[in-house]
Amino acid sequence: MGDGLRLNMNALDYLILALYFVTVLGVGFAARRAIRTSVDFFLSGRSLPAWVTGLAFVSANLGALEIIGMAANGAQYGIMTVHYYWIGAVPAMVFLGIVMMPFYYGSKVRSVPEYLRLRFNRPTHLLNAISFAVAQVLIAGVNLYALALIMQLLLGWPLWVAIVIGAFIVLVYITIGGLSGAIYNEVLQFFVIIAGLVPITVLGLVKVGGVSGLMDAVRGSKLGEAGLHAWQGTGSTDNPLGAHWLGIVFGLGFVLSFGYWTTNFAEVQRALSARNMSAARRTPIIAAYPKLLIPVVTVIPGLIALITVKGLGAESGDLVYNNAIPLLMRDLLPNGVLGIAVTGLVASFMAGMAANVSGFNTVFTYDIWQAYFKRDRSDEYYVRVGRIATVVAVLIGIGTAFIAAGFSNIMNYIQALFSVFNAPLFGTFIIGMFWKRMSALAGFWSLLSGTVVALGTYLLYRAGVIDFNSDLEESFWGAGLAFVTVAVVAAIVTPLTRPKGADELTGLVYGLSDTTLKDDSLAGDAAWYRSPVLLGVIAVVLAALFYIPVF
Amino acid sequence: MADDADRYQHGEAHDPLVDETEDAREARSAAARLFDIRRVIGGLFVVYGLIVGLMGLFDSSAEIDKAQGVRINLWAGLAMLVFGLLMLLWQRLRPTEPPEPHTADER
């Protein structure tokens, strides 16, 4: 890699970046005074309004591989990339808000693994808590490495300097400000990311002659007409994504996305910090609206880069698809908006890493340390444990980042490896929530066997024993098989084992208690525009309508 | 710790660990002291808008050419300034009502 991507940052661009760092740290320090109990530290005292938790929810997902990766997918697969948003995210987010959140928020669990402890048993809980905790610290490291890589490429900072600075800032604002520090910064990050991406999109569209100019140019590119359609050509796998519509609907739209969005504590945590049930249910649904529109500033720049950057799509070097957005920044942005765009990218990496770290410290403290090691300590003790866990998580993250720096493929593997855990988890949750007879032991064996099947499919594919058209197809099939395994094992084991009593399950499963808990609604929550069901239905309808022009 | 009967009106499953932290929160949470993030967002965007907008006023023709003839700094600066001011205005018009201590909001 030469100096091909170095940006001409001037002093004012650096001032913009520096102001951002100072603000982020200031938010962490200012959030400190609102922390007295462990729930204040890990769940913002369950006090935040829905728009804050909703934007944090979407921001926590706007991490490293999201923006860079979706622009890369836009350049490589064309419009089909919108499936990751409109069918692969929005329905699952709405489902989380409408159907699952009453169980999560209503039972007052403090984490997603904790739901498993109450619904099933401690082994199920420990299995999930450990796999989640390990995944979060490793993925935090991957995010950190991606941040450092981009800083090196764009600004010429040595890798280790970028890793240490990025890690240090996240460490400070989460250790001091807790989840409030993380969430408030995520809201800020959301707006900075958008402010950075919009000028790239606008100038790119001007350059290619507007939307119609872009469409003409895509037809003449190597993607051709297929690059402009989301569903046409999905009757077979002969399309840019190499995916059949069945795979898109059931694999991506159902098993993969529901697995990610509904059981990933790094996301769900944002909703648990909302101030009441209504706000908690609206959190993922409010997040669905920006999610609907984000492809405008990721997929479209990807297509613009495909057209305007000659030779994009190289196997290695500066012209890999992943550099679509950095290349556009270099070619289009003058100083000023350039500083904003760099800050936006840095913000996105920090948002991703902070979500992992804040998810980790909560699960480590409540689900591992408190549940299995030191049970009867004071509430303040667990705040201290949380702070120490944050420091340890960031240090391990730095270690992972340096390992990833040595083996660049390792980060792809880590991501793919842990996505393997989501589908069986979702299967266990959804069956456990809606089938109250499902026994505790069935929960454990379902989760374990589903995970083994998903992991086995992945490893056999990697080793070349089984063959799929693409990585994506592998993940559809792996997730689908895992889901079926969970269901089959649950159906076999449940009749053979003892059920849990109704008194142990009230509030945790569908049909026991109407989940109308203590009414915690605030004045104004009854307004139609605060109805989770209505907002959710509108989001899904919009997602369907958005497909029409790009069918 | 004593269970809070009101929390489980419908006899929901109890868990001692959950109860302990919820009791601590209800008794001592300091979350009401959290500041309003709209002020920070508004402030940062006003500053960004001023910096970028002023740079836009003095952009050279080379910079404008690079941006496809669009005075992008000026427009982006203005947009960020307006957005920042709107955030501050929203915060002024609809200040957060501090969440009441949780023991007090039972009906």
pLDDT tens digits, residue range A262-276? 999 999 999 999 999
Least confident of A19-23, B8-12, B39-43: B8-12
Rounded to the nearest angstrom, the gap between the alpha carbon of residue A220 and the centroid of all alpha carbons in its chain is: 34
**Interface probe, candidates B29, B37, B73, B85, chain A, greatest A C-beta count within 10 A:** B37
CB atoms within 10 A of CB A90: 27
Residue B47 · residue A19 · CB < 8 Å: yes
Q: What is the mean pLDDT of chain A?
A: 88
Name the most confidently modeled range: A53-57, A62-66, B31-35: A53-57
Structure tokens at A145: 């490495």
Give the ipTM of the model, two decimals please: 0.89
Residue B3 predicted with pLDDT over 60: no
CB A243 within 8 A of CB A232: no
Handedness of CA A415, A421, A426, A427 (dihedral sign): positive
pLDDT 10s digits, A429-461: 999 999 989 999 999 999 999 999 988 988 898
Directed axis angle between helix A159-208 and helix B72-93, to 10°?
110
Residues of B in contact with A199 (CB under 8 A): 72, 76
Interface check B94 vs A, CB under 8 A: no
pLDDT of residue A89: 92
Which one, of A532, A514, A525, A486, lies nearest residue A284 by Cα? Answer: A532
pLDDT at B99: 53
What's the confidence (pLDDT) of residue A3?
56
pLDDT score of A393: 93
The DSSP line for A320-371 is: SGGGHHHHHHHHHPPTTHHHHHHHHHHHHHHHHHHHHHHHHHHIIIIIIIII
- On the question of pLDDT at A2 being above 50, the answer is no
Among A278-292, A342-356, A505-519, B18-32, the range with the most confident prediction by mean pLDDT is A278-292
What phi and psi values does residue A363 have, to the nearest 5 degrees? -65, -40
Q: What is the pLDDT of residue A183?
A: 94
pLDDT band at A231 (very low <50, low <70, confident <90, very high): confident
Count other Cβ atoms within 10 Å, centred on residue A406: 7
Comparing CB atoms, the residue among B9, B20, B59 nearest residue A518 is B9
A213: how many CB neighbours lie within 10 A of its CB?
14
Per-residue tokens: A160: 């280790």
CB of B70 less than 8 A from some CB of A: yes
Of the candidates A16, A203, A505, the beta carbon closest to that of B48 is on: A16
Q: What is the pLDDT of residues A163-185, one digit of tens each?
A: 898 899 999 999 999 999 999 99
> Which tens digits make up the pLDDT trace of A466-478?
887 777 777 778 8
Pick B52's closest partner by Cβ from A27, A46, A336.
Answer: A336
Question: How large is the average pLDDT for residues A140-153?
Answer: 85
pTM: 0.90
Q: What is the pLDDT of residues B72-105, one digit of tens each?
A: 899 999 999 999 999 999 999 988 765 555 444 4
pLDDT of A54 reads 95
Partner A, chain B 44-63, Cβ-Cβ below 8 Å: 44-45, 47-48, 51-52, 55-56, 59, 63
Q: Give residue-wise pLDDT tens across range A360-402.
A: 999 999 999 999 998 888 889 999 999 999 999 999 999 988 8
Average the pLDDT over B52-67 and give the result. Answer: 85
